[in-house]
Amino acid sequence: MGDFQQAMAAHRVGRLAEAEHLYRRILSADADQFPVLVMFGLLKAQQSDFPEAERLLSKAVALNPNDAGAQFNHGNVLLRLGRLDDALVSFGKALSLNPGLREAHLNRGGILMFRRRFEEALSCFDAAIQSDPKYSQAHCNRGNALVELRRYDDALASYETALSLNPQNAEFHASRANALHRLHRSDEAIGGLSTALALQPRNPGFHYNRGNVLFEARRFAEAFAAYDQSFSMEPQAEYVEGDRFFAKMMICNWSNYGDEARRLMNGVSEGRPVSRPFAFLAAGSSQSLQTRCANLFCDREFPSPTPHWSGPTYRHDRIRVAYLSADFRDHPVSHLLVGMFEQHDHARFETMAFAFGKAERTPLRQRLENAFDRFVDVHDKTDADIANMLREQEIDIAVDLMGPTESARPGVFARRPAPLQIMYLGYAGSTGAPYVDYILADRIVIPEHEQNLYREKIIYLPETFMGTDSRRAISPTTPSRKEEGLPAEGFVFCSFCNSYKISPQIFDVWMQLLCETEKSVLWLSVGDETARQNLLREAESRGVGSGRLVFARRVERNEDHLARHRLADLFLDSFPLGAHSTACDALWAGTPVLTCTGETFGGRVATSLLSALGVDELIARTIPEYQQIAMRLAREPPLLAAVKEKIRVLRQTSPLFDTKRFTSHVEAAYSTIWERYQRGENPGNLSVEPLRHKDPPN
């Protein structure tokens, strides 16, 4: 038996050191032995010495470029080295020599998936299946591509085929569950992940995905448990730590709050993908770190592909503005902005809405559809499809109303479908995107000294950045205290912010207020039962009986929710992440809002609202001052009555609720940036001057 046969035999049975010695001896005598170079390259790949494996296989394919197997193996090693473009070339060469090489089609498709070239990836998986109709992995990967293309029913069919060929494959069950999750079939998705976990109980990714489904189903305690399990198995996995923390905040579980928040901040500071931007807001960090988190997320998840718009200057009679959102429905963003959409000057602006999310037929949805020149439902379109539509419509200004939040579509903006792209309202901070040119703000939420933190340039609106609807209905019928579960008498503090905004720091203050205000209660809008029980336990640990916390019942109509604000004496803003639309609700309903100005965009929103309304006496600069103001208002009924009367009067005349005035300011911003663009100027920070005369609300 010759040296090569001996080496092959040793290699085959795992005696790798012996095989390596023999391969080296052969090559020392003749360095151009093609089969030896290939086999030695495969051995080094087995040993995870990929640089050496690549050197050997590169030499092999140079000697014999027409060997499909060598080209394929070279591609695999290039893939492991992260040289994806080179790997694509090698797999392409292998397939040109042997079109039936199913694994080359599969691997090529995998690279294209990573590059977010989903249509091309789908073609690769189809080719693999054509080579071998029973190739179960190709059917599963085909389903993954179809999910990314939002063809969920077709994806389910591919997963079903994969499972029929290999029903014991845990990955196939988990992938099918992902498609069911996208279709909002939560119970089936959870069942599929349970099956996957029964097959692979130690798979952290399956636990993480289960947490995602449970979170969307608003089963927050179970979601936290699933995230916690995943995190315990793989603490360095992307985003799991942040999602775990956010789910924990949703149920008001503050155990180890300080340590866990600091650990998240350290991770972001070190440039690690520990949290998505929205989840990171709950950690109460600095604006600098929040923006860094957004930058990291955007650079990692939504790098800029080839722009759909390549530089032509449009010449339209009207500026074409497109608003993009999944929240054109009964959602706070739409409640706030429907009036602005209606007030746009259609002689100067042509407005379009691109709706990412399905919505039920409601009066608000009908108002929204009627407000625009064109309303387009794109929930079943891919990011590329939507970007193409914007380009075909020659949109001048594309406005992202979501930022990095749930159901957002940053991939649309990453494709640069419009000359000018703006972020507004849906997220309290930077998108982190270099392809978003501007963010609409005011000098309170983004002070001038923080401009450098943002990749976007700042458009400073006068008075406030917050749009409101002066036609927003409030029911004339006020429910009784009894109907709302409130005591017959006593001071009512309320805070209708979401549970993740309730920090232990501000809860301490709220409980002190209850202790010092006889017969007072705190009225909260917390629907999750686990969160309620945790808050009751936290209150009792601070010496406050469970009867002092009242949890608001769910009401269907927004006008009824606004009406019940009349039962509250004082709305307490949260801290360090403050109330946004909920603070606006309270002020519109006439309820005083007390805030403490925070150190971030998200912590300054209520300050912006109160400043625009003209009630600066409700803005505290420190937590002790916040507590002092609250106590004065609770103990001095005439003072509280005077503040309420002031709000009642200013509500009719202040810029905060002057929709027409606000819309004019936004339109001035659009006109200014469009004129700058037409002059060939790059985006830059700018200010909109306020109207000289305040028009009364419509």
Indicate if the pLDDT at residue 671 is higher than 50: yes
Smallest CA-to-CA distance from 131 within 58, 79, 61, 68 is with 68
Instruction: Identify the CA nearest to 548 among candidates 604, 507, 505, 497.
Output: 507
Helices (H), 302-408: 332-343, 363-371, 383-392
CA dist list (Å): 69 to 19, 39, 46, 130, 134: 20, 11, 16, 19, 21
Q: What is the pLDDT of residues 465-506, one digit of tens each?
A: 999 999 999 999 999 999 999 999 999 999 999 999 999 999
The answer to whether 54 touches 78, Cβ cutoff 8 Å, is yes
Buried b / exposed e along 192-216 (16+ C-beta atoms within 10 A): bbebbbebeeebbbbbbbbbbbbbb
The reported pLDDT for the residue numbered 499 is 98
DSSP notation for 400-435: ESSSSSTT--HHHHHT--SSEEEE-SSSSS----TT
Domains 319-460 and 492-657 share a fold: yes
- Measured between alpha carbons, how far is 201 from 328 in angstroms, rounded to an integer? 40
pLDDT of residue 3: 85
Q: Could you tell me what percent of the chain has a pLDDT over 70?
A: 99
Which of 468, 463, 456 has the alpha carbon at shortest distance from 442?
A: 463
* Residue 171, amino acid: E
What is the structure's pLDDT at 528?
Answer: 96
Rounded to an integer, what distance in angstroms lies between the CA atom of residue 207 and that of residue 2? 52
Tokens standing for 28? 């020392």
Collapsed DSSP state (helix, strand, coil) of residue 479: coil
Number of C-beta neighbours around residue 153 at 10 A: 9
Q: 410 with 436: CB under 8 angstroms?
A: no
Look over the chain and give the mean of its residue pLDDT values, rounded to a whole number.
96
Indicate the residue type of 17: A
- Prior bond of 576 cis (ω within 30°): yes
Q: What is the CATH number of domain 319-460?
A: 3.40.50.11380
pLDDT at 698 over 60: no
Tens of pLDDT, residues 592-628: 999 999 999 999 999 999 999 999 999 999 999 999 9
Q: Kindly report, residue by residue over 49-87, the tens digit of the pLDDT.
A: 999 999 999 999 999 999 999 999 999 999 999 999 999
The token pair that represents 587 in the structure block: 């002020």
Question: What's the token pair of residue 475?
Answer: 């029911």
The dihedrals phi and psi of 574, each to the nearest 5 degrees, come to -85, 170
Contact 332, 580 (CB under 8 A): yes
Tokens of 266: 């350290």
pTM confidence score = 0.94
Residue 495: the pLDDT is: 98
Structure tokens belonging to residue 643: 């503040």
Could you read off the pLDDT of 177-223 as tens digits, one per residue? Answer: 999 999 999 999 999 999 999 999 999 999 999 999 999 999 999 99
> Once rounded to an integer, what is the mean pLDDT over residues 304-319?
82
Residue 51 carries which side chain, given as an amino acid letter? P
**Distance, CA of 457 to CA of 695 (rounded, Å):** 29
Spatial contact of 353 and 365, defined as CB atoms under 8 Å apart: no
Residue 572 pLDDT level (bands cut at 50, 70, 90): very high
Using alpha carbons, list the distances in angstroms from residue 346 to 320, 340, 373. Answer: 10, 12, 8
DSSP for 484-544 reads: TT--SSS-EEEE-S-GGG--HHHHHHHHHHHHHSTT-EEEE----HHHHHHHHHHHHHTT-
Look at residue 696 and tell me whether its pLDDT is greater than 50.
no
Does residue 518 surpass a pLDDT of 50? yes
Give the CA-trace dihedral at 455, 461, 466, 470, to 10 degrees.
Answer: -150
What span, in angstroms and rounded, lies between the C-alpha atoms of 589 and 596?
A: 21
Q: Could you give the CA distance from residue 386 to residue 397 in angstroms, rounded to a whole number?
A: 14
Q: Where residue 1 falls among pLDDT bands split at 50, 70, 90?
A: low
- By DSSP bridging, strand 619-620 and strand 686-687 are unpaired
Domain ranges across the chain = 319-460, 492-657
Polymer length of the chain = 698
| Angle value at C-alpha 390, between 385 and 395, nearest 5 degrees | 175
Sheet containing strand 492-495, edge to edge, reads 549-551, 521-524, 492-495, 570-572, 593-596, 619-620
Among left, alpha and beta (phi > 0; psi -120 to 50; other), residue 453 is alpha
> What is the reported pLDDT for 697?
45
Alpha-carbon distance of 620 to 607, in angstroms, equals: 9
Query: With respect to CATH, is domain 492-657 assigned 3.30.420.40?
Result: no
Predicted confidence band at 255 (pLDDT cuts at 50, 70, 90)?
Answer: very high
pLDDT in tens, 356-402: 988 788 999 999 999 999 999 999 999 999 999 999 999 999 999 99
Over 80: is that where the pLDDT of 306 sits? no
Q: List, for residues 639-654, the tens digit of each pLDDT value.
A: 999 999 999 999 999 9
pLDDT at 693: 55
Whole-angstrom distance, CA of residue 24 vs CA of residue 57: 14
CA distance 248 to 258: 13
- Between strands 397-400 and 619-620, the pairing is unpaired
